[in-house]
Structure 1
Amino acid sequence: MNKKNLRFIIALSVEAKSIIELYKLKEINLPPNIFKIYKNIDLNIWLIISGIGNVNSAAATIYLYKSSPKNKKNIWINVGMAGSKNFDVGSIFNIKKVSYKNTLKEESFYLSTLVNTKIPINEIVSVDTPEYNFKKKKSIYEMEGYGFIKTVERFCSRELIIIIKIISDNEKIPPINFIKTTKHFMKSNIKALEELINDYIKISSSIKNKRKYNINIINKKFHITYSSKVIIEDLAFKFEKIYSRKELEIILSEAKTLKDFIREVKKKINSYVLKI
């Protein structure tokens, strides 16, 4: 049986119900039982109930990372309900930008656009308290995305991070009978969610081979120690997602030492991030 390597961060049990049923997850006893966790060990699928809010989402993400098997192919997924000014209730969105703002800071995070699906792409405004005014017309408001993305990007490539939001309420339809509404909309969108995840699984399955290739071409010129292997793999993989293999090979050909190569690759990656 092929493993799917999925890690779900879900705020509420009612939001997780359809996912638990789809993947036949079973609740486990994992002391100290800070969070409720479900898993399907055969498929390497884990799901954690974080509770509402960015702080809880971040804590649950770290907790699941430490509690479940680590694998570069693991796909990390945050699914939940959200509010909007004018999007129809029940609408599902594949989130590619997360914005967060408080009195001290303002941050934005961008997810990979490698996977294009039938699910419309949008962005979210992540807040610390429930939003009812919906000031921005085309924005989606929710309370867990920021805590999730800020935490998970520390140990997972953005190509393997998914944020999905389903509209539970808008300016005209308030969040009445949230449990019943959430069950209905999660169930009606579960097929679309599964199809999206399957596309990411295909991306995940190709990552190992591509990283091995990067190591091989670099190893032809420089001797890579075991301690340097992970660093080189991650840098080369990230570089090729931003630029091209040809540009990576040019840097490799011009570098006199492995240290020079690493420094130049990091410089190019950082300059791209600054442009965003």
Structure 2
Amino acid sequence: MNQQNPPGIFIYAALPCEAKPLVEHFNLKKETPVQPFAVYLGRDICLTVTGLGKSAMAAGVAYTHALFAAVEHPVLVNIGIAGHKDHALGSLFLIDKITDIDSLKSYYPPLVFTPPCPTAAIQTVSRPQIDYDPHHLCDMEASAFYEIAVRFSSGELIHCLKVISDNALSPAENIQPKQVSQLIAAHVATIEALLAELRRLAELITAPEPAQFERLIQRYHFTASEQGQLKNRLSRWELLTGAQIPELDETPLHKGKDVLCWLDRQINKLEFSL
């Protein structure tokens, strides 16, 4: 596997039929030595077919990023199918809320750009559902994908795109692999536009050291690990605010950890207002 020019974009699909139109569109080639998962590589893109379900998705994300551990601020996108009670087959949604039905944990992918398609909330389940929720999409991987992905990148660069494959009029047992490939193939232009926007955001985050970084590490004591956390938070702040400089209230700040906590609170306020 070529580690000299590692990819910056990582796509995760549960099923081969979900991956097929993306492999063809982006001209990806299968890495034959890779055994646990089917991994496809192309210019700046790595696509992994993980298998169905939360455990398989979590393992696939972790495995792929073990292969490319040196990539800084990668873009991670889960692309696949989902069900909904009423939405028409083939409708495309960018996910803005993910709820794991088993753990009841919820995740909110930050949308710091104009979505290229409608947004929706999704519930992730452990087994196919007979009854459709009228307010949420339903899939079997999104929560596991997001929970593992945030260990490897910034939340702004981690997203799920879902195409409606089944609804109350055409339930899940009617799904055919060829149909799934066709539904996803119809949206490759939108997918490509989203990846381009996320790549642009990643380049902003990996830009030179953010403003105030040097001043803060000179004023407060940060461990080596905390310096990395500081750079990440300052980069996220600049991304969310359009490169504004945070006005720190330094009165209660005595050490690096205090600065990190203060930045976390300010960033959470920004993300809440999106």
With the length of structure 1 as denominator, give the TM-score of the two structures.
0.85
Write the deviation string for residues 109-129 of structure 1: whole angstroms up to 9, x where unpaired: 000111213310111111100
Secondary structure in structure 1 of the residue aligned to 2:207 = helix
| Distance (Å, rounded) in 1 between the aligned partners of 2:225 and 2:116 | 41
**1:170 alignment partner AA:** N
Q: Give the equivalent residue in structure 2 for 1:106.
A: 104
Secondary structure in structure 2 of the residue aligned to 1:248 = coil
Structure 2 gap segments, 5+ residues each = none
Q: Give the equivalent residue in structure 1 for 2:116.
A: 118
CA contact (8 A) 1:214 1:237 kept: no
**1:184 alignment partner AA:** Q
Secondary structure in structure 1 of the residue aligned to 2:27 = coil
Pairwise CA distance, 1:49: 0.8
| Distance (Å, rounded) in 2 between the aligned partners of 1:246 and 1:26 | 42
CA contact (8 A) 1:251 1:261 kept: no
Say if 1:247 and 1:74 are closer, same or farther in 2 by CA, change over 3 A.
closer
Q: Give the equivalent residue in structure 1 for 2:46.
A: 46
Matched, 1:213 2:211: yes
Correspondence for 2:169 among 167, 172, 189:
172
| Aligned 1:17-166 pairs, distance under 5 A | 17-31=20-34, 33-40=35-42, 43-102=43-102, 105-134=103-132, 136-166=133-163
CA contact (8 A) 1:10 1:79 kept: yes
Pairwise CA distance, 1:180: 1.8
| Distance (Å, rounded) in 2 between the aligned partners of 1:238 and 1:210 | 13
Write the deviation string for residues 197-220 of structure 1: whole angstroms up to 9, x where unpaired: 111111111112275334244246
Pairwise CA distance, 1:29: 2.9
Q: Give the equivalent residue in structure 1 for 2:201.
A: 203
Return 252-261 or 176-185, whichever deviates more: 252-261
Say if 1:258 and 1:9 are closer, same or farther in 2 by CA, change over 3 A.
same
Matched, 1:248 2:246: yes
Say if 1:168 and 1:44 are closer, same or farther in 2 by CA, change over 3 A.
same
Write the deviation string for residues 203-242 of structure 1: whole angstroms up to 9, x where unpaired: 1111122753342442464476655421211233345567
Write the deviation string for residues 30-53 of structure 1: whole angstroms up to 9, x where unpaired: 45x11111112xx23111111110
CA contact (8 A) 1:210 1:237 kept: no
Say if 1:85 and 1:218 are closer, same or farther in 2 by CA, change over 3 A.
same
Secondary structure in structure 1 of the residue aligned to 2:187 = helix
**1:212 alignment partner AA:** P
| Distance (Å, rounded) in 2 between the aligned partners of 1:139 and 1:256 | 45
Say if 1:56 and 1:231 are closer, same or farther in 2 by CA, change over 3 A.
same
CA contact (8 A) 1:111 1:159 kept: yes
Q: Give the equivalent residue in structure 2 for 1:12.
A: 15
Pairwise CA distance, 1:139: 1.5
Q: Which structure shows the bigger proportion of residues in helix conformation? A: 1
**2:109 alignment partner AA:** L
**1:149 alignment partner AA:** Y
CA contact (8 A) 2:124 2:142 kept: yes
| Distance (Å, rounded) in 2 between the aligned partners of 1:159 and 1:203 | 8
| Distance (Å, rounded) in 2 between the aligned partners of 1:216 and 1:252 | 16
Secondary structure in structure 1 of the residue aligned to 2:114 = coil
Structure 1 gap segments, 5+ residues each = none
Q: Percent identity?
A: 23
| Distance (Å, rounded) in 2 between the aligned partners of 1:117 and 1:137 | 22
| Distance (Å, rounded) in 1 between the aligned partners of 2:201 and 2:239 | 12
CA contact (8 A) 2:94 2:161 kept: yes
Write the deviation string for residues 86-118 of structure 1: whole angstroms up to 9, x where unpaired: 00000000001101122xx31110001112133
CA contact (8 A) 1:98 1:109 kept: yes
